[in-house]
Amino acid sequence: REYRGAPTGTDIECRGWRQEAALRLLNNNLDPEVAENPEELVVYGGTGRAARSWDAYDAILAELRDLGDAETLLVQSGKPVGRFETHERAPRVLVANSNLVGKWDDWDHFHELEARGLIMYGQMTAGSWAYIGTQGIIQGTFETLAELARQEFEENSLEGRVVATGGLGGMGGAQPLAVTMNHGVCIAAEVDEDRIDRRIETGYLMDKTSDLEVALQQAAEYADRGEPYSVGVHMNAADMLAELVDRNEIPDVVTDQTSAHDELEGYYPSGYTVAAADARREADPETYVAESLDTMERHVQAILDLQERGAVAFEYGNNIRGQVREHRGMETAFDFPGFVPAYVRPLFCRGKGPFRWVALSGDPDDIRRTDEAVTELFPEKDALHRWIDLAQEQVEFQGLPSRVCWLGYRAADDPDGLTERARFALRINDLVADGEIAAPIVVTRDHLDAGSVASPNRETEAMKDGSDAIADWPILNALLNCAAGADVVSVHDGGGVGIGNALHTNNHVVLDGSDLAAEKARRVFTTDPGMGVVRHADAGYETALDEAEASGVPIPMRERER
């Protein structure tokens, strides 16, 4: 099977740029530079796929090429299933991936249906065609670690600190670079040597070894000198952390990004090479799962032990705590917090989240132009400027050039009452209209955003009012994105924390320089982050209620919330 990534340039195969954008982003998700395993249509995060099968992929492309400007294509778990006439202001593509009725909403049923070819795991941005490679997560990881440093260390930096983690996959691969960008030292366990090599090739990781002793020595030396350093350790993450406990080598920070959300296809049990594990998984999946969960139990115990001895510990969104609590009855698992309540929720309350954009031209200059625009537009945002500088220096583009940064609401700061996201999107749209950018830019985001997700073990862990598991919110968010005119709207079950553990949404808005694009952008980038403000205001967060007041977000029963 041949696949080459997204078409680029200013000529289009489809009947309009909105359809073309969907086609390019789907192909970009499968670009060998971007996807972890494009032969299998796997983009990242265990088995997160962009399409259900190559047949389905071909059919999606054919539909997109043929789709009119007032038509809407329906994609059910990576397969095109219908097409209807709607209107210009409606989305061009509607996507629902991996969703199951509650009682059947678990991996067993999912795998049964997957085996019959009826469903696909969409992860977050895999099945919604919004993955932009490791870059997508890197700024989030950078921001999270920066916030951690602010909260935990006097220096407000990771300088001289050692972070121990595991997993150098599609998302986890961002960890070493985010640590070094924060001037720290990172030791990351990874069982798959190819992944380690890949991170080194792309500049995300500096060094590798299979000798933990060596890694620790190097780490200590760099940390002492206050210099950034990262090393991939070719071993199982659970074994590495257990050894740190045994040697009483306590890192400053401990976390993990192995694909623990999926005990069968994501996580590797201890005692196997990758090849041996893959064979065992094929031959005897039940034993594999049991051993996988045993390893996770030791893994979590090691994190708890390191925390006990002084390390700052947090879960990095892979549901490893939920897995061992559910399958091993380990209640202490939740004694270390998730990264969202610890470091991200305050941003969500203000509608701030990961805004990302992709240059459909394929031309890196287009992103450079947007980099300039965002820094011009927000001259007061020091962290943003620092991020853009670092990203330009250190982040290599994978597939279509793209950028990510966290933008918020703060409509209050704008004379026209525009949100930060809307203001920037309109600016890009003008640049496209003026020909300063070669082809349209498509704006999208992570499913992990302020108002787009219900995920009790991650994004909505420990909500103030206890509303963690209520899924009305992401459903309203998807409907509202549709009402506001996003060009692609998706709803996924599972994602980073596994089937039945989360519901979340995505959107795309194509900025082609037209008035219609401006209209859509103004609305979507008000309503979508606005849902973050509304959702957290409803849960009683003061920051969200303040933001709503300052930015004029109507909260119908707000007097009753305080």
Active site residue ranges:
405
State the Cα–Cα distance between residues 213 and 202, nearest whole angstrom. Answer: 25
111 makes contact with its own copies (CB under 8 A): no
Give the number of other Cβ atoms within 10 Å of residue 278's Cβ. 14
Nearer to ligand NAD, 171 or 359 (CB): 171
Which amino acid, one-letter code, is at 206?
A: M
Q: Does 518 bind its own copies (CB under 8 A)?
A: no
Q: How many other β-carbons are positioned within 10 Å of the β-carbon of residue 157?
A: 16
Q: Per-residue DSSP letters for 2-37?
A: -------SS--SSSSHHHHHHHHHHHHHT-TTT-SB
> What, of ligand NAD, its own copies, none, does residue 113 touch, CB below 5 to 8 Å by kind?
its own copies
Contact 59, 79 (CB under 8 A): yes
Question: What mask, x for binding ligand NAD by CB under 6 A, covers residues 430 to 469?
Answer: ------------------x---------x-----------
DSSP letter for each residue of 263-300: TTTTPPPTT--HHHHHHHHHH-HHHHHHHHHHHHHHHH
Choose from its own copies, ligand NAD, none: what does 45 bind? Cβ within 5-8 Å by kind: ligand NAD
The continuous run of DSSP H or E covering 405 comes out as strand 402-407
Of 58-66, 146-154, 379-387, 431-439, the segment contacting its own copies by CB under 8 A is: 58-66
Decide which of ligand NAD, its own copies, none touches 94; Cβ closer than 5 to 8 Å per partner kind: its own copies
Site string for its own copies, 82-101 (x = CB under 8 A): xxxxxx-xxx--x-xxxxxx
The number of residues that bind ligand NAD (CB under 6 A) is 36
Can you tell me which of 11, 102, 331, 376 binds its own copies, judged by CB under 8 A? 102
**Among the residue ranges 98-106, 162-170, 392-400, 421-429, the one whose residues contact ligand NAD (CB under 6 A):** 162-170
By CB under 6 A, name the one of 91, 127, 133, 166 that touches ligand NAD.
Answer: 166
Neighbours of 138 (CB within 10 A): 25
Given ligand NAD, its own copies, none, residue 167, with its beta carbon under 5 to 8 Å by kind, binds ligand NAD
C-alpha distances out from residue 387 to 139, 314, 530, Å:
8, 23, 24
Interface with ligand NAD includes 189 (CB under 6 A)?
yes
Stretch of 106-114, 266-274, 366-374, 398-406 contacting ligand NAD, by CB under 6 A: 266-274
* Cα Rg, the chain, nearest whole Å: 22
Q: Does 63 bind ligand NAD (CB under 6 A)?
A: no
> What is the CB-side half-sphere exposure of residue 80 using CA atoms within 13 A?
23
Q: Find the shortest distance in angstroms from Cβ 317 to its own copies.
A: 15
Per DSSP, 468 falls in state T
Q: Determine which helix (DSSP H) or strand (DSSP E) holds 488, and give its type and residue range.
A: strand 488-493
Axis crossing angle, helix 364-377 with helix 420-433, rounded to the nearest 10: 130
Minimum distance from CB of 99 to its own copies (Å)? 4
Would you state the structure tokens that stand for residue 368, as one six-digit string? 């450079």
Query: Per-residue x/- marks for its own copies, 438-457, CB under 8 A?
Result: ----------------xxx-
Under a CB-based contact definition with an 8 Å cutoff, are residues 223 and 247 in contact? no
Measured distance CA(127)–CA(428) in Å, rounded: 26
Q: Which of 17, 107, 222, 268 binds ligand NAD (CB under 6 A)?
A: 268
378 binds ligand NAD (CB under 6 A): no
Q: Which residues bind ligand NAD (CB under 6 A)?
A: 36, 44-46, 137, 140, 166-172, 189-192, 195, 236-238, 257-261, 266-268, 295, 316-318, 448, 458, 496
